[in-house]
Structure 1
Amino acid sequence: MTIHNAAGVHMAERLGFSRAVLARELSLEEIAVIKRETNLDLEHFIHGAHCFSFSGQCSFSSWLGGMSGNRGRCAQPCRRRYHHKGKDGYYFSPNDLSAIDLLPELAAAGVMSFKIEGRMKSAEYVANVIQAYRTVLDASERERPSAIGTAKELLKESFGRLPTRGFLPGTPPVDMVNPGVHGATGRLIGSVEGCQGGLLSFLPRDPVHLGDRLRIQPATDKPGTAFTIRDLRLAGKPVNRVKGGERVAVGSPPGKSFRVGDRIYKVSSGKAFNLSQSACRKRLESVSPGEAVVDLVVAMPTSERIELTAACHGLSLTRHYTVESFPATSRPLSHEVLAKVFGKTGQLPLTLGRLECGPLPAVVLPLSRLNAVRREFYQELADLVESCQHEARTAHRRQAMADLVPVGTSPVAMPRLAVVLSNLHDLSLLKQEGVDELILPLSPGTCDKIEAGSRAIIKTPERILWDLPLAIFDKDWPVFQMEVNRLVKHGFRRFRLQNIGQLMLFDGNEDLSLESGYRLFSTNSQAVCSWRELGLSAATLYVEDDRDNLAAVLNRKAGLPLTVTVYANLPMMVSRIPLSGVKPDRPLVSDRDEAYKVDDRTGLTVVRPEQDFSLVGHLGELQKMGCSRFVVDLAHLGTSSAGGRRVLAAYGQDVALSGRSTFNYLLEMI
């Protein structure tokens, strides 16, 4: 949700949330401002990998291969090497956030839950990081300086990137990106000196242990090769450990070739954790699901009959069993004996809770018969529980499918065309046949420009849609609130939102037409229904989406007209991280010859590919799916340029433009 201001928290509160996870781009002061405006619990990220882009708003990985970072499948192209003005560097690869010495300040700012990266991390990483932060959190104020020192030593063993406090201190972070440092994790311990006879030789800076995990990183931008040390040799002899500064040889993984000079990184330590990923998976697979608690009542109406009644997960099962009994001369059947027998559940996902029994006859039952009764009864009970759980899951799925918006949207006779412009200078485009409306950026000073020389726009307010930016921080909120109020006074009623908190800008205003922009992730009909319930009048579908899912959403009766962006120069990343020395006059180029432009004129760093996105050539298909409006974004070209005219001409004929990308439309968003 990219919650980065008090308005976003207020909206979460209105929607019934009890906790808000804040965007990582906030300072301690900005967090404190948000907390003063809400009673909602606040959670903040304090340790781990930091994305270059705003939280949850990166299209980079998806653009290059369909692996959407916004869906948790990032391929991390930001960690690659790029070439700029004769220099190679890792310009988009931030250092890892580490707030180990800011925990009291975070708590004072109002954060009550600390979030630490753990997904897709090794057990060693998680253990070291959790122990480090727990050490500081549990320390008294007097003990804290010493605890922080201990914690930082522990964090060195997590093999992460260089640490940064990120945006938390409040000043523009100058240590978040160091282009000269490789973007991958691990600690550099040496470089390959030789590769012969299945052995790699090198001079390590740090101690090396059998079971350590290394990554060999080539000088190119290709992925490195990671392996666990199974063969460690010093002077030709097998050893378990070598000191730093001792030339060592390790067994090279079969089928892999390396070059002298390739860098060697230590990515985990065999001292703490030496299970392979496959071994970890096997261990996890052996873990049984949570056990169901069984409350059991045992009765013996006669000395030849035992009756069991179990209550478990809202189910009840009663069974009778014939037993052979013998008069007891000592130690007759008792509650203690029954608890010992029925307390055993074997491999079944059951555990005994309460056990009750009424008066029992003074008899002895063969233990073999009691165990057989227990096994038969528990197996039937476990099967019943599993069957009912399966039926419940199936019923939930059926209900979820039944709750979906029904299929049946009719094709639109002629979708409307909205053109995105970067300024107020091309308003004459409204006179061009086929252009139904303009989408203009709403920014500080917009109303002043209108009143100073663009008053003609006031004559056709119904054909203007004002587009809000991705992020509005609290210090800028009053300015945008004033712009909105002034535009409404001038008769403008249409606004496009890019963040859910922006709904708060329009409290108190009536008869407005609010729409969701593509950054609000309308990827299914339920999302569209949610916008309708919140009072929005239209929705723009997500630009990352593929053809099959677009068709599925467009073919639902969601109750809102749906828009598809069909031409744009899409921002891959929008960031608060400054890139010193990188200017828009020269692109950054990857080893794969992909070129990207960087622009910071708005105060944010915006990274765009030199290649435009286009679905022109597929307009007829989208129309048949039910799309009611197309958006052509010419903000980067202008309408009077040759490029802008070429795009509009191709749109009018629905002819594909060469050299453009269809993004995931013809592929699949993963």
Structure 2
Amino acid sequence: MTHRKSPSPTKPELLAPAGSLEAFFAAAEAGADAVYCGLKAFSARAKAKNFSVADLEKMSAAQHAAGRRLYVTLNTLVKERELPELVDTLATLDQIGVDGLILQDLAVWKLAREHFPQLELHASTQMTVHNAAGVKMLERMGFTRGVLARELTLDEITAIRRQTHLELEHFIHGALCFSFSGQCYFSSFLGGQSGNRGRCTQPCRRRYRQRGKDGYFFSPNDLSAIDLLPELIAAGICSLKIEGRMKSAEYVHNVVSAYRMVLDADRKHRQDVLKEAKQLLKDAFGRPPTRGFLAGPTPVDIVSPNLRGATGRWLGNISQVRGRQIGFKTRDLLQAGDRLRIQPASDRPGTAFTVRTLQLGRRPVKQAAAGSQVTVPTPFADRFQVGDAVFKVSSRQAFTLSETACRKRLERISTEPTALNLRILMPDNHSLQLTAELAGIEHTARFAVETFPAKDNPLNRETLRAAFSQAGNNGFRLEQLTCRKLPPVVIPPSRLKQIRREFYAQLAQQLSCRRQNHDSSARQRARRSLLACGEPAGQERRTTLGLGNARDLQILARDGIDRVLLPLSAGNIQGVQQAGRWGRQTERIVWDLPFILPDDQWQQTGELIRTLYEQGFRRFRLGNLGHFPLFDDYPEAELEGSYRLFILNSQAALAWRDLGLSGGMAYIEDDRDNLADLFTRPTGLPLDLTVYASVPLLTSRIPLKNLQKEGGISSDRGDRFRVQQRSGVSILSSETDFSLLDRQQDLAALGVRRLTVDLSHLGAFSPRGKQVLNALQKESPLPNTSVFNFDFGME
């Protein structure tokens, strides 16, 4: 692998998105130090154009030739049947020599670490690494970089930096998710389109209603940290990341240019440059800007419920519709070539088109000034209505390199040459011996030569270097040439040229064979490591009941309840102590750690675990990488994983087992077909499956106190939701719970014998809780529930 100079906190990397070839070249032209992009598979932006392997090879060569870096995102969750394709992808990326893989699924981590160790691994922000312990775990696991959660403050980032040497990357600009990245099930629950599979339909951007008041309650403004670059650098961020693989080349060019200007500005001129850069950002057609959590733990401007969730510059609302024509008063300059998106009042998906012509009254014009009443022909009939909003999402001054031009430009790029060292000697006056060292290969060849006594300018090192530096199209770059004492002779230049061609052709063949053998060997080893399908594991049935409060511990007296899951809190520890004999059944109580654990809660959580350990409790459920170091001093602890530790395939299960889990949980978004594949793999990690729960559609650090107090949130589609606030974490759930209680025989046939019923939101002895337990016992359906993706599949 070709290693490029790594960024440092003193000279941070400006990292740009590329969802298309136009955006890739726009990023390079604007001055990005590195680009991240996705393949057509395994990308968390599956709706972007993305790239083929052949594209990536050329793009990597272009980046490396310019001293820049290329990172590839393999940051989706991988289904069991996709593992062979994942192996092939890793082998190919290893051969190309990309500078890093950005990943979420630990299957990627395990396969890359064991079979393609030269690939550098970056932990995606979708892994929700949000404290120093999580970053330390990444260090232990061999990651070279962690992309921090976007919910951290500058002070929290600074504190993490003091405790780690790992490269830290952070977003500085672009769209924000309401939920912690990787922890949103909103899109999947409403329609099977999983954000963790790159297919988010962005329901958070839609309009919702609470007690007759409409609002975009879950649609954050766009992050813009251009004012905070010195503070981010001082905090220890070495890579400044711009979001936007779904954005246009114009957006990428404008945003990268703005941040490049400010990063390169000297202190004396910084304020003037900053002003100019902010104007560029205004032309990027984003949402209103916010500093997010960087400025503090309670940002007041991160969500504006009265603003539509769409991107672009709002021009006005449609006042007139005639067939394919719309009329409106534009708030901004409008020109032929601009691109508009019409957003219906319901905030259902908008429709975009490019303005070909426009009219002022009956007069056709090329442009219309702000404040003009314009008529714009559209490609659509009967699509738009009076009141729909008009947004400008791109201007005709966009980055002008077309996709065709970009494709031609890419084709002209030569793949990166391989550096070689060359030793030359003449054993006698009639032969020339060459030895090349490159990429772990040493190759020697001897060539017959006809020589002539030198009257002047005899053969020397400079002559040989000039001859062999011309590598032609063989893909080599001569780094160093050494030679022993040469006789005072002359070799005809034509013969040296012929030797060069023949020798480099031999090298190319040797290198190709070695790469193919290496690739084939690593690929075959990785494929052999994949677990074959077998019979479902014969495990005894076990039912775990999730409780919200220790006062319900007496439910352990009920037949068929083997264990309970309790949230780890001081109140519940006290409740267990007061629960009499039920609280002393330490083997039947599993303590569930809070999913989000900021560093300022770390010591307190550690003290709670020590208290429980001293009382004889050994079973704990983990939901984040940052939980593992809490148990460094407790080797006898039995650690289990929640569904937030993603297990969608057998390699991920093996990875979590390697990290110390004694049990795991199948992913809550999963479907019947993939569960069947997963549960027939002998991973050695027993897996539970959630069969009843309130699914946390959004898990956020953004406060929702007003919504919680007033309650009753609904959508235009009739969906209803509830809001909870726990220890600084907001959770949006559907009022329709997830249930597979009537599918227990189906699940048993798949090999699922360990069931988890989560009643933490209901209470075990509430009327609804009793209904659920009755349905569990009778394996009967419950009204007003959803099977989530079980029947119809998760895309």
- TM-score after normalising by structure 1: 0.86
Pick aligned residue for 2:745 from 620, 634, 641: 620
Give the corresponding residue for 2:100: none
Give the corresponding residue for 2:541: 415
Instruction: Output the CA distance in 1 between the equivalents of 2:407 and 2:779.
Output: 51
Deviation for aligned residue 1:109: 2.4
Give the corresponding residue for 1:153: 279
1:369-380 aligned within 5 A: none
Give the corresponding residue for 1:594: 719
SS of equivalent to 2:761: coil
Instruction: Output the CA distance in 1 between the equivalents of 2:633 and 2:602.
Output: 16
**Is it true that 1:459 corresponds to 2:584 in the alignment?**
yes
Deviations 1:500-551 (A, max 9, x none): 1111222222421111111111222222222222222111121112223222
Instruction: Output the CA distance in 2 between the equivalents of 1:194 and 1:292.
Output: 63
SS of equivalent to 1:599: strand
Q: Is the 8 A contact 1:190 1:203 kept in 2?
A: yes
**Residues 390/411 of structure 1: CA separation in 2 closer, same or farther (3 Å cut):** same
Give the corresponding residue for 2:355: 229
Q: Is the 8 A contact 2:537 2:679 kept in 1?
A: no
Q: Is the 8 A contact 1:444 1:480 kept in 2?
A: no
Higher radius of gyration, 1 or 2: 1
Q: Is the 8 A contact 2:692 2:758 kept in 1?
A: yes
Range that drifts further, 391-400 or 626-635: 391-400
Deviation for aligned residue 1:668: 2.9
Pick aligned residue for 2:262 from 136, 146, 149: 136
Q: Is the 8 A contact 2:536 2:681 kept in 1?
A: no
Q: Which amino acid aligns with 2:759?
A: L
**Is it true that 1:53 corresponds to 2:174 in the alignment?**
no
Pick aligned residue for 1:513 from 626, 629, 638: 638
Instruction: Output the CA distance in 2 between the equivalents of 1:38 and 1:186.
Output: 39
**Is it true that 1:498 corresponds to 2:604 in the alignment?**
no
Q: Which amino acid aligns with 2:598?
A: F
**Is it true that 1:204 corresponds to 2:330 in the alignment?**
yes
Give the corresponding residue for 1:479: 604
Deviation for aligned residue 1:340: 9.6
1:87-102 aligned within 5 A: 87-102=213-228
Q: Which amino acid aligns with 1:421?
A: L
1:400-411 aligned within 5 A: 400-408=526-534, 410-411=536-537
**Residues 61/394 of structure 1: CA separation in 2 closer, same or farther (3 Å cut):** farther
**Residues 123/634 of structure 1: CA separation in 2 closer, same or farther (3 Å cut):** same
Deviation for aligned residue 1:4: 1.2
**Is it true that 1:436 corresponds to 2:558 in the alignment?**
no
Give the corresponding residue for 1:329: none
- TM-score after normalising by structure 2: 0.74
Deviation for aligned residue 1:282: 7.7
Instruction: Output the CA distance in 2 between the equivalents of 1:378 and 1:559.
Output: 50
**Residues 380/421 of structure 1: CA separation in 2 closer, same or farther (3 Å cut):** same
What do you get for the CA RMSD once the two structures are aligned?
3.9
1:283-298 aligned within 5 A: 290=416
Give the corresponding residue for 2:24: none
Instruction: Output the CA distance in 1 between the equivalents of 2:704 and 2:192.
Output: 26
Pick aligned residue for 2:154 from 17, 22, 28: 28
Give the corresponding residue for 2:522: 396
**Is it true that 1:104 corresponds to 2:230 in the alignment?**
yes
Deviations 1:414-449 (A, max 9, x none): 320001011012212111111111111112333233
Q: Is the 8 A contact 1:587 1:597 kept in 2?
A: yes
Aligned residues: 666
Deviation for aligned residue 1:82: 0.9
**Is it true that 1:79 corresponds to 2:200 in the alignment?**
no
Deviation for aligned residue 1:96: 0.7
Deviation for aligned residue 1:413: 5.0
Instruction: Output the CA distance in 2 between the equivalents of 1:235 and 1:294.
Output: 69
Pick aligned residue for 2:708 from 577, 583, 589: 583
Q: Which amino acid aligns with 1:53?
A: S
Give the corresponding residue for 1:116: 242
SS of equivalent to 1:657: coil
**Residues 344/42 of structure 1: CA separation in 2 closer, same or farther (3 Å cut):** closer
SS of equivalent to 1:518: coil
**Residues 319/254 of structure 1: CA separation in 2 closer, same or farther (3 Å cut):** farther
**Is it true that 1:651 corresponds to 2:773 in the alignment?**
no
Instruction: Output the CA distance in 2 between the equivalents of 1:363 and 1:588.
Output: 87
Q: Any stretches of 5+ residues in structure 1 without a counterpart? A: 323-332
Q: Which amino acid aligns with 2:649?
A: N
**Residues 390/624 of structure 1: CA separation in 2 closer, same or farther (3 Å cut):** farther
Instruction: Output the CA distance in 2 between the equivalents of 1:218 and 1:621.
Output: 43
Instruction: Output the CA distance in 2 between the equivalents of 1:116 and 1:632.
Output: 41
1:280-429 aligned within 5 A: 290=416, 392-408=518-534, 410-429=536-555
Deviation for aligned residue 1:31: 1.7
Instruction: Output the CA distance in 2 between the equivalents of 1:5 and 1:363.
Output: 67
Deviations 1:124-174 (A, max 9, x none): 111111121122222233322222222211110111110011111224112
Give the corresponding residue for 1:244: 370
Range that drifts further, 402-411 or 466-475: 402-411
Q: Which amino acid aligns with 2:596?
A: A
Instruction: Output the CA distance in 2 between the equivalents of 1:669 and 1:14.
Output: 32
Instruction: Output the CA distance in 1 between the equivalents of 2:780 and 2:509.
Output: 60
Deviation for aligned residue 1:80: 0.9
Q: Is the 8 A contact 1:528 1:558 kept in 2?
A: yes
SS of equivalent to 2:764: coil
Q: Which amino acid aligns with 2:594?
A: P
Q: Is the 8 A contact 1:411 1:623 kept in 2?
A: no
**Residues 316/493 of structure 1: CA separation in 2 closer, same or farther (3 Å cut):** closer
Instruction: Output the CA distance in 2 between the equivalents of 1:318 and 1:50.
Output: 57
Pick aligned residue for 1:533 from 658, 662, 674: 658
1:11-26 aligned within 5 A: 11-26=137-152
Q: Kindly, what percent of the aligned residue pairs are identical? A: 48
